[in-house]
Amino acid sequence: MSDDPVKTVRNGAVLEVTLDRPKANAIDAATSRRMGEVFEAFRDDPELRVAILTGGGEKFFCPGWDLKAAADGEAANVDYGVGGFGGLQELPGLNKPVIAAVNGLAFGGGFELMISCDIIIAAEHATFALPEINSGVIADAATLKLPNRIPYHIAMEMLFTGRRIDTEEAARWGLINQVVPDDSLMDVAREKAALLAEGPPLVFAAIKEVLRETENMKFHDAIAKMNREEFPTISTLYHSEDQLEGARAFAEKRAPVWKGK
C-alpha cells in the first residue's frame, strides 16, 4: 500500500525495510505492529538472509515513540505487536543479521531500535540520544542494554541527562560500526548486506541464538550447553550439509556454497 508506513524492497536474499512515516518517522502502536509483521515474515522466509533497516527522508531515522499519539490517549503499555516496540526488540527466534542504516536522528525508542540491530552504519550527520528523562519516563530497553554496549559511565550519563552525541563520539565508544558520507549510506549498507548474504546462514543463526540465550548464564554453563548441542541452531549446524560443505571447500581450496541446510 502507498500509505504503508513500513516500505519493503527485496533484493535477492536481502530485505530493505524503510520506516517512512512523515514528518519524523515516529512509531505509534499500529506502525510498531506493522514492523513486527514485516520482521516476522523476514525471519520465517528461507529465501531471505539479511535485512537493512533505515528511515525515510534525510533528517530522521526514528525519534521513537509517537508522543502525539500518546497525547491523544495511546498508553505507553499498549500492544506494540509480536516484536515489541519497533518490531525487533522482542521478536523471538530472529536468527538472521539485521543492519541499521542510520540516516539521521535516532532518539529514544529509535535509538533502542537501532541497538537492536546487529551492525550499525551511520551517516555523518546522524545524532543519538535518550531523552526519555525529560518526559518523566525510563528508556526501557536502553537501560538494560546500553551499559553492556559502551562504557558504563558514558551510558549512565546518556540515560541520566538525555544529552545528544554525534557520530564521532558514538564511534569512539564503539556504539556504531562505521560512519560514512551521507550520500553513501545505503550503498555501504547494501555492500555489507551482500557480503553477509553470501555467508553461512546456519552459522549466523547459531551465533545469534547462543548470544541471546546465554546472556545471563555463567561461561562454563554456556560452553557445556553448546558442547551438548542443547541449542537448536547448534544441533542443526553440526548435522548440516553446510558444515560438510565448509570442510570440503577448505580442503579443495575453493569458496564454499552455502545452502542453509
* Confidence label for 135 from pLDDT (cuts 50, 70 and 90): confident
User: What pTM value is reported for the model?
Assistant: 0.93
Mean pLDDT of 198-221: 93
pLDDT above 80 (res 232): yes
One DSSP character per residue, the chain reads -TT-SEEEEEETTEEEEEE--TTTT-B-HHHHHHHHHHHHHHHH-TT--EEEEEESSSSEEE--B-HHHHHTT--TTS---TTSGGGTTT-TT--S-EEEEE-SEEETHHHHHHHTSSEEEEETT-EEE-GGGGGT---HHHHHHGGGTS-HHHHHHHHHH---EEHHHHHHTTS-SEEE-GGGHHHHHHHHHHHHHTS-HHHHHHHHHHHHHTTTS-HHHHHHHHHTT-SHHHHHHTTSHHHHHHHHHHHTTS-------
d(CA 184, CA 181): 5
Question: What span, in angstroms and rounded, lies between the C-alpha atoms of 218 and 109?
Answer: 30
The mean per-residue pLDDT over the stretch 64-85 comes to 78
pLDDT band at 68 (very low <50, low <70, confident <90, very high): confident
Grid cell of 195 as nine digits: 557480503
- Mean pLDDT computed over 168-196: 97
Higher-scoring residue by pLDDT: 127, 65: 127
Q: What is the pLDDT of residue 1?
A: 45
Cell of 218: 555463567
pLDDT band at 118 (very low <50, low <70, confident <90, very high): very high
Catalytic residues: 112, 132
**What local confidence, expressed as pLDDT, does residue 28 receive?**
93
Mean pLDDT across 205-226 = 92
**175-189, 193-207, 223-237: which has the minimum mean pLDDT?**
223-237
* Residue 215 banded pLDDT, cuts 50, 70, 90: confident
Instruction: Report residue 20's pLDDT band, with 50, 70 and 90 as the boundaries.
Output: very high
**What pLDDT sits at residue 137?**
85
Spatial contact of 178 and 122, defined as CB atoms under 8 Å apart:
yes
